[in-house]
Amino acid sequence: MLTLNHYHNQWIDLRSDTVTHPTEEMLDAMVKADVGDDVYQDDPTTLQLEELAAKMVEKEAALFVPSGTFGNQLALISHTERGDEVLIPESNHIVMHEVGASAVIAGVQLRCIPDVNGCITIKDLQYRFRDGDIHNPRTGLICLENAHSSGKVIPLADMQEIFNYSRSLGIPIHLDGARIFNAAFALKVDATDISQYCDSVMFCLSKGLCAPIGSILAGSKSYIDRARKNRKLMGGGLRQSGYLAAAGLISLKKMVQRLPLDHENAQYLAKRLREIPELEIFDDRLDINMVFFRIKKKNFDSDALVHYLSKKNIKINLPMAEEFRLVTHYWIDKRKIDWVIMIIKEYMQKAL
């Protein structure tokens, strides 16, 4: 008899949607999964997951990979040659949070573009595109991120414009779509309306979609063939990956459609946080399942707040550049949000 880990009964974890554990249905499916050896390409559950994943973003093929970072870096090495330059908004995950892997694995140079919540313009790209001058690296790839981890989505019209421009130069686009389905709900479109404007897309099964491990890289058949070989080179050729893919299948079949609830809960969390006068909520970045705020008081002791919440079984991250980020997900409901608000109010009354 399977029982769920009781972590989610003990902790209210708002640090990220990466903290989601698999549901009981997923655990059950994992135990019963039909598996083979995926390096031999005969693991039926992984093949089924890859087929469905490719279909959901309307690409010819898809590959199961261990993580979002792995998927992005695999995308880069499979699109580029060593020494290429990659045009990318400077606040993207690939630049900020992937340990400089692009220099180590693909051996590319990231040409970072100042952006506003992941948005850049054609002008930004035009200015940075390299011609064939002997001094120049080749411009090998453009990267975008939608939804962006600032909590905003990139409008479809912007993506289309950049896509059309990339066609005129013959440069591919990779989309970090870790939360592409959140972006689709926020934009009120289908995920395929977004993925039509990129050559490859990575999306995560392990965030709001609750799978314990795994992401997808999708693209054309020839591109995914190349990526399969590179995945092996990177040590990501998994064997009985069907045990993990079984959870991923439930992510795609059942968890995608409930993401709007996380967005609704983020709106509710923001509304309740507005009751606390010491906080400033960034209302213009409430597109998905993330709420950003800052404490108005100068020299506020953020460590003490995080520590206080932790003693009350609430996990939040320390602020980055004075911004706190709270993330809603499958294991967060309005009742838990009410509890968190009560504890923050209690702390503010004591501390200020």
Residues 5 to 34: which contact ligand PLP by CB under 6 A? 18
Residue choice 20, 23, 91, 149 for contact with ligand PLP (CB under 6 A): 149
Q: In whole angstroms, give the CA distance from residue 15 to residue 35.
A: 33
Determine the Cα–Cα distance for residues 72 and 87; give it in Å rounded to an integer: 14
CB-nearest residue to ligand PLP: 68
230 or 272: CB nearest ligand PLP = 230
Chain-centre distance of CA 190, in angstroms?
Answer: 17
Instruction: Give yes or no for a contact between 140 and 85, defined as CB atoms under 8 angstroms apart.
Output: yes
Site string for ligand PLP, 220-259 (x = CB under 6 A): ----------------------------------------
**Shortest distance (Å) from residue 89 CB to ligand PLP:** 11
Window of 66-74, 187-195, 259-267, 314-322 that interacts with ligand PLP by CB under 6 A:
66-74
145, 179 in Cβ contact below 8 A? no
Binder of ligand PLP out of 21, 47, 67, 276 (CB under 6 A): 67
Q: Smallest Cα–Cα separation from 186: which of 227, 218, 219, 154?
A: 154
Measured distance CA(58)–CA(204) in Å, rounded: 16
**Quick one: which H or E segment has residue 10?**
helix 7-10
To ligand PLP, the closest distance from the beta carbon of 204 in angstroms equals 5
Closest CB 22 distance from ligand PLP, rounded Å:
15
Per-residue mark of binding to ligand PLP, 91-120 (x: CB under 6 A)? --x---------------------------
Helix axis angle for 221-233 and 68-79, nearest 10°, is: 110
Residue with the two structure tokens 């549901």: 23
183 binds ligand PLP (CB under 6 A): no
Sole binder of ligand PLP in the list 12, 23, 35, 68 (CB under 6 A): 68
Is 145 an interacting residue with respect to ligand PLP (CB under 6 A)? Answer: yes
Q: Which two tokens stand for residue 239?
A: 């064997």
* Identity of the residue, 20 or 206, whose beta carbon is nearer to ligand PLP in the bound complex: 206
Q: Which is nearer to ligand PLP, 18 or 192 (CB)?
A: 18
Cα–Cα dist 194/146, whole Å: 8
End-to-end CA distance of the chain: 49
Report whether 182 contacts 192 (CB < 8 A): no
Q: Does residue 204 interact with ligand PLP by CB under 6 A?
A: yes
Q: What residues make contact with ligand PLP under the rule CB under 6 A? A: 18, 67-69, 72, 93, 145, 149, 176, 178, 204, 206, 215
